[in-house]
Amino acid sequence: MSNSAFQSQWTRWTAFLAVALFGLLLRLPQLGARPMHTDEAVNAYIVGQLLAGENYTYDPQDRHGPALAALAFPLAKLQGAKAFAELTESELRITSVLAGTVTILLFGAAVEMFGFVPCLIGALLFAVSPLPVYYGRYFIHESIFVAATFGLIVTGWRAHQTHSAPLGALAAACAALVLVSKETAVLHFFALTAAAFVFWLWNLRRTHLGNLWRPKAALPALAVFVLLSVILFTWFGSNWSALPALLHAVPKLLARAGGEGHQKPFWYFSRLLIGGWSGGLISALACIGLFLALRKRDPSPYGFLAFYAIFLVVIHSSIPYKTPWLALNFWLPIALFAGLALKSLWSIPATTPALRIAIPAYCILVGGIAAVLIARDTHQRVFALPADETNPYAYAQTTEDLLGLPALIELVAHQNALAAPRIAVIASDPWPLPWYLRHYSQVGFWQPGQQVGQADFYITSTEAADQYGDQLKDLHPDFFGVRPGVLIVLWSPAPK
């Protein structure tokens, strides 16, 4: 490597490491302050089972792949956790924080594809914008999924361009991590494949892009993909029933696509992305970048990215099932296209002295306004009101009111000299209560209608309370909000 090339690499990675560090530091404050969402509590329970010495068991019914648990488990042990009861919100959410930081660094690896300036702007947007910061502090699979998808795009493109077998294997490993994160990987694989094919047709008459299929490189990559997927889904060979269970994920995925209570209109994601003070500006810049990519009909990677983004938006918008964290997947093309738009505005030819001053001034003004608006939205949605019903990112969010339930149990148990109180939970959907009751050793969970033994405390859904009148008649009820519109009742003994 020449001295100038070394200096260029050093400058590049210094810049992207600085942005990644800033993104990391932004995601760390108050990491445990927001109440645990139901999905986070379920994922936490899985990590707790691993800490207890159990093997991971893939369940396609209401779970996702093992990638999140595989990364969170060693991180929890490194932080000193030895059991489910010892886990904290911060210890778990650091997994997503690190995955988001890796995504920011991947913008540096994408410079050969998309250019230094657009990637740097894209990395900054991903580091500080409210949506990626909010869900980068969420203990769910999406941050890992997005990082793996970006890795697949970058390594896959480079492998195709250089015919490198190691890069092909790395791309296959990224693809396996995408699949092992969430079953919705099949939607992204389809979008990527369709985008590659349309991009090839788009440029077929203008330039030679080479063959899309090279058996000598593709077959080893396929072997890496299959091997890594099997290793992780079977939890290193300890649960081979995961493979037939994976086949059942397909009909489950199709059923879930119908909505299952999460139906949203076609325009849901666009409304989510343009919301807030900064959303409209960033989305407008991204649309300009998308237009520039499609207008310039050449084999630039931006053309491929444009088709991928279009397929991805159409697929997710057409499926009735929608949750706001799925919008994190759109942020890779949004950030890069916004970066491309700003770079293009800066590069407009200045034919007069006035334009030579006006164009940079205009770009600086747009960037300054964007920074102020992003800072405001990130502060409000991530730190000031993370669990508020007015926050569009706080979807079916556990309310702060629920935090008072374990505190009240502890108070009443102390007043009644109950060192190890027996707690019976009766509800069709008890989550996230297993997380908030994890410090108590005698907790049982029952479905409404089942026979429940004697307990010191009962926690029931409002619907189930009438079925257990004899057991609850001498106890005092306290109501707690679980999620917006959902109440539970804590039945406590009178202090002695």
Convert the pLDDT of each residue in 119-176 to its tens digit.
999 999 999 999 999 999 999 999 999 999 999 999 999 988 888 888 999 999 999 9
* Nearest of 309, 293, 281, 306 to residue 129 by alpha carbon: 281
* pLDDT value at 46 more than 90: yes
Lowest mean pLDDT, pick from 108-122, 217-231, 380-394: 217-231
* pLDDT value at 422 more than 90: yes
Rounded to a whole number of angstroms, the CA Rg of the chain reads 25
Place of tokens 């003070």: 277
Convert the pLDDT of each residue in 250-288 to its tens digit.
667 666 666 566 788 899 999 999 988 899 999 999 999
Q: What is the mean pLDDT of residues 361-375?
A: 83
Distances in Å between the Cα of 30 and the Cα atoms of 25, 88, 134, 383, 386 are: 11, 12, 12, 8, 10
pLDDT at 346: 75
| 439 touches 85 (CB < 8 A) | yes
| 27 touches 100 (CB < 8 A) | yes
Which residue ranges make up each domain of the chain? 3-384, 400-492
| pLDDT confidence band for 349 (50 / 70 / 90) | low
**What does residue 103 show for φ and ψ, rounded to 5 degrees?**
-60, -40
| 371 touches 22 (CB < 8 A) | no
Convert the pLDDT of each residue in 54-92 to its tens digit.
999 888 776 789 999 999 999 999 999 999 999 999 999
Q: What percent of the chain has pLDDT over 90?
A: 68
* pLDDT value at 5 more than 90: no
Q: What is the mean pLDDT of residues 395-418?
A: 94
pLDDT at 221: 87
Mean pLDDT of the chain: 89
